[in-house]
Amino acid sequence: MKFTCDINVKHLTRVEGHGNISIKITNGKLEEARWEVVETPRFFEAMLVGKHWENAAYICGRICGICSIGHTLASIRAVENAFDIVPSKQTDDLRLLLKHMETLQSHILHLYFLAAPDYLQVGSVLPLAKTHPEEVQRALRLKLLANDMCDCVGGRRMHPTRTIVGGFTMLPEKEELERFRNRLTDALADLTAAADLFQSFTFPGFVRETEFVSLRGKDNYPFIGGDLISSDGLIRQEDQYLEMTNEFCVEHSTSKWSKLSRKSFAVGALARVNNNFKHLCPEAQEVADFFRLSPINHNPYMANIAQLVECVHVVKDSITIIDTLLGNTWEAPRQAVEEKEGSGTAAVEVPRGILYHYYEFDQNGRVQKADCVIPTSQNHANIYHDIEELATQCAQSGKNDKEIELLAEMLVRAYDPCISCSVH
Amino acid sequence: MSDTLTYLGVKFPKPRVAFFELTSCEGCQLQVLNNEATLLDFLSLVEIVTFREAMSERSDSYDIAFVEGSISRKDEEDRLKEIRNNCKILVALGSCACFGGVNQLKNRFNDLNWVKKEVYGDFPIDTQEVKPLADVVQIDLEIFGCPIKKEEVEMIVTNLVLGKSITHPPYPVCMECKANENICLFELGEPCLGPVTRAGCDSWCTNHKRGCWGCRGPAEVANVEQLEEIMKEHGFSTETLLDRLECFGGFQSQVSDIKNRTKEID
Ligand code: SF4
Ligand code: SF4
Ligand code: SF4
């Protein structure tokens, strides 16, 4: 078969940030398959140098609009670890609740607004408002719930206001939490309907074996802090994160790349589900079973399903957290902060995968050095090699340009890349 | 979709709207999508022809361009000029676009080579001093905030479509904060830029007991010297004031005044 194609996607749409795909096949031979990141860098790690610790989370939250809560919480945790501050159980619960709602918000945005249009053969969610009004309303309802809860707990859905080193500036009203508990229960029915919709999609049967990196669950499905694990068998402590990330620069990317045991690894919902499946709540495991998603799954397109599974998990877990909070009397929202010389690391699972923040402080609490390793930058190499493999397979199968282009775009979108975040 | 909008029985052409992002966190664009309750109504007001973060279709023919982000590379200057040529109304969306935003914090080192080396080591990387959009093209309208307030965007777009004039409140955040009956944060021992920052956010942060960091830039009358006195009285250092003033780039001239003055004293 003499198959030839030349695909150049400049500034891929329905992803956060700027990236290009190029695939060139001549006479059935793959000549080039690339994933390029052309986003302009912002230099957050330099910006922080010399700044007092209270700036860290305020500025670093602005690395990303979609996962600003995750960045804020990672930054706060790194500062708290540097100052030996142990948050109260109440603060931990509220932070996890906030984190869960960011996960829900981000996953629903991705599933419905960014991924679903491909499976329904439209260019965006806009025409779906006409053809699939119930589904779009459902998506908006779920997203609104998540965003409303982020407003309630974090003060603001984007670039939260109440989250600070030591705890929160103020606490939600219990009546508000009770009302959210009801809406969360209703959300479970919406998620069942979402699963039915996604069940009707045909996910490409592409597989490329890779390594998956995430936090390591001890007693529960992990989101904030703890040990790090790779599906190839590595286990490291939070502050040994550099051994998991191994960042390096490549010429076709303004984002750094990462690698571990192989030439690339993946982080994100699929990595978490693969590495911590047994810690998912039974209802979430049921959804995974429904889609025959079981560890270890090496089909990157299944990341969409892993997100759906996590939506169910975070909604169920949020109900449990709210019950705990409602059963206790409120303690003080925050504890005092005493700065000191030293360094601190935080590993937090944000929607797109494991995120690390690391800071070094002098005796006045001013940043000497900062390092942030972003989930999408850890994924870039994996995306790159997936595209290579996909293109190789396509070269043999003789699909046409349009089909290959769409498959490649869908592949990148499945990672839900946050490109501007990766070039922070 | 019809291409005209009817308001009180009068027909208005439905404007073609495009969204673009330069150096940014894309948060301001996301805020537009974040208004679930009114998103569909809002979308019926305008025809969105380009919105890379949300749709695959794109077009070079549009009336209103919303540009998020600041300029930090030559190709962004070129893109912005092209957008300017293509649109009738150019709106700077968010503090990155209006003032440089958090991105301009790297300018304070006055040493791009050091900044590059700190993050990328010896790897060659292209970047320039961060600029707001107005340094490169003419801007018709600014929407302040980091992030922008989605209600404000919808209001502004509605007014644009209806041809009404758009004005920003000249008074500071303090006015809104007092109207919201908040306890002043200075009384709670927290610093706040509310006395000098342009209102319009409905004292978003101070409603949540978080001091204002000045993301919307200076109010029409912004007495920073007086704020310095208030900060001093409450035991806050010049550094604390400067951290806030310089965070989003809106108070650039005030920041250099203070920095020059403290340099003279040194
Ligand atoms: S102004 Fe703030 S929210 Fe908007 S793009 Fe810039 S950093 Fe993001
Ligand atoms: S908290 Fe800030 S905005 Fe509110 S009254 Fe006090 S100084 Fe003004
Ligand atoms: S209170 Fe200040 S920092 Fe907060 S949104 Fe308003 S202007 Fe921006």
Least confident of B121-130, B153-162, B221-230: B153-162
pLDDT for B43 = 73
Task: State yes or no: pLDDT of B118 exceeds 60.
Answer: yes
- Give CA separation, A113 vs A107, B251, B264, in Å: 10, 37, 55
Contacts of B105 (CB under 8 A, 6+ apart): A47, A59, B246, B247
Nearest to B27 by CA among B89, B102, B81, B80: B102
Q: What's the average model confidence in pLDDT over B233-240?
A: 96
Range of lowest pLDDT (A165-174, A217-226, A402-411, B97-106): A402-411
Mean pLDDT, rounded, for A64-91: 97
Whether the pLDDT of residue A162 is over 80: the answer is yes
Compute the distance between CA of residue A336 and CA of residue A359 in angstroms, rounded to an integer: 20
A271-312: pLDDT as tens digits: 999 999 999 999 999 999 999 999 999 999 999 999 999 999
- Per DSSP bridges, beta strands A235-236 and A167-168 are unpaired
Q: What local confidence, expressed as pLDDT, does residue A2 receive?
A: 58
Domains of chain B: 2-162 (3.40.50.700), 173-265 (no CATH)
Looking at residues B186-191, what average pLDDT do you find?
96
Contact A170 B209 (CB under 8 A): yes
Kindly state the average pLDDT of the residues B176-182. Answer: 98
Q: How far apart are the first and last CA of chain B?
A: 65
Q: What is the pLDDT of residue B265?
A: 67
Within chain A, what is the greatest distance between any pair of CA atoms? 72
For residue A234, the model assigns a pLDDT of 96
CA A315 to chain CA mean position, Å? 16
Q: Taking CA atoms, what residue in A is nearest to B248?
A: A59
pLDDT at A108 over 50: yes
Report whether residue B206 contacts ligand 2, using a CB cutoff of 6 Å.
yes
Query: Is B121 in CB contact (< 8 Å) with chain A?
Result: yes
Neighbouring C-beta atoms of residue A216, cutoff 10 Å: 18
* Residues of chain B contacting A115 with CB distance shorter than 8 Å: none
Mean pLDDT, rounded, for B198-219: 97
Per-residue confidence (pLDDT) for residue B44, from 0 to 100: 75
- Reported for B205-208, long-range contacts at CB under 8 A and 24+ positions apart, including other chains, are B205/A155, B205/A161, B206/B173, B206/B177, B206/B180, B206/B182, B207/A155, B207/B177, B207/B180, B207/B182, B208/A155, B208/A156, B208/A161, B208/A162, B208/A169, B208/A170
In angstroms, what CA-CA distances link B191 with A48, B178, B236? 20, 16, 7
pLDDT for residue B146 is more than 60: yes
- Asked if A332 has any chain B CB less than 8 Å from its own CB, the reply is no
> Residue with structure tokens 């929202």?
A333
H/E element, B186: none
CA distances from B117 to A371, B4, B233 (A): 13, 53, 40
B264 pLDDT tier (thresholds 50, 70, 90): confident
Residues B165-174 have a mean pLDDT of 93
Predicted local confidence at residue B9, as pLDDT: 54
Q: Using alpha carbons, select from A104, A49, A19, A132 the residue that is nearest to residue A309.
A: A104
DSSP B52: T
Mean pLDDT, range B37-55, rounded to an integer: 76
Closest-approach residue (CA) in chain B for A256 = B120
Choose the most confident range, by mean pLDDT, from A327-331, A402-406, B11-15, B25-29.
Answer: A327-331
DSSP letter (8 states) at residue A413: H
Q: What pLDDT is attached to residue B124?
A: 84
Q: What is the mean pLDDT of residues A314-323?
A: 98
* Percent above pLDDT 90 for chain A: 80
Superfamily of domain A44-330+342-413: Cytochrome-c3 Hydrogenase, chain B (1.10.645.10)
- Number of helices (H), then strands (E), belonging to chain B: the values are 10, 7
pLDDT of A32 strictly over 90: no
Please tell me the distance in Å from A33's CA to the nearest CA on chain B: 21
What distance in Å separates the CA atoms of residue A48 and residue B148, rounded to the nearest whole number? 23
- The residue ranking higher by pLDDT, A234 or B167, is A234
For residue B1, name the pLDDT band (cuts at 50, 70, 90).
Answer: very low
Q: Work out the angle between the directed axes of helices A303-327 and A174-199 (0-180°, nearest 10).
A: 160
For range B35-45, the mean pLDDT: 73
Give the tokens for residue B97.
Answer: 């676009």
* CA end-to-end distance (rounded Å), chain A: 44
Ligand 2 touching residue B201 (CB < 6 A) = no
Q: Which of A391, A389, A414 is nearest to A404 (CA)?
A: A391
Closest CA–CA distance from residue A346 to any residue of chain B (Å): 19
Q: Which residue has the tokens 């982000």?
A: B69
A-chain CB neighbours of B22 within 8 Å are 40
Inform me whether the pLDDT recorded for B10 exceeds 70: no
Q: What residues contact residue A355 under an 8 Å CB cut-off, 6+ apart? A: A67, A70, A71, A74, A347, A348, A349, A372, A373, A374, A375
A159 touches chain B (CB under 8 A): yes
Q: What pLDDT score was predicted for residue B2?
A: 40
Q: Model-level pTM?
A: 0.94
Nearest CA to ligand 1 atom 3: B147
Judged by CB atoms closer than 8 Å, whether chains meet at B204 and A52 is answered as: no
Interchain pair A147, B36: CB under 8 A: yes
Please name every residue paired with A16 in a beta bridge, in sequence order, or none if there are none: A418
Of A330, A280, A107, A283, the C-alpha closest to A198 is: A107
pLDDT given for residue B266 in this prediction? 61
DSSP state of A370: E
- The C-alpha atoms of residue A90 and residue A326 are separated, in whole angstroms, by 11
Q: How many residues does chain B have?
A: 266
Residue spans per domain, chain A: 44-330+342-413
DSSP state of B108: G
List Cβ neighbours of B58 (8 Å cut-off, separation of 6 or more): A13, B49, B50, B52
When pLDDT is cut at 50, 70 and 90, the band that residue A250 belongs to is confident
Each residue of B221-232: b (16+ CB within 10 Å) or e?
Answer: ebebeebbeebe
Mean pLDDT (chain A) is: 94
Residue B55's region, left for phi above 0, alpha for psi from -120 to 50, else beta, is: beta
Amino acid at A71: H
Euclidean distance between CA atoms A283 and A311, whole angstroms: 11
Strands (E), A182-296: 211-215, 228-230, 235-236, 265-266
Would you state the structure tokens that stand for residue B74, as one six-digit string?
């030559």
Between CA A272 and CA A65 the distance in angstroms is: 22
Residue B169 has pLDDT above 60, yes or no: yes
Both structure tokens of B60: 């070079």
Q: Any CB–CB contact under 8 A between A59 and chain B?
A: yes
Query: Are A124 and B34 inside 8 Å of each other by CB?
Result: no
**CB-CB under 8 Å, B56 with A124:** yes
Tell me, what's the pLDDT at B161? 77
- Mutate which of B143, B171, B216, B227 for ligand 3? The one with the most ligand atoms within 8 Å of its CB, which is B216
Would you say residue A406 has pLDDT above 80? yes
pLDDT tens for each residue of A94-107: 999 999 999 999 99
Q: Chain B closest CA to A1's CA: distance in Å?
A: 32
Cα–Cα separations (whole angstroms), residue B31 to A139, A141, A157, B145, B239: 16, 16, 9, 11, 31
Nearest neighbour of B54 by CB, restricted to A40, A64, A113: A113
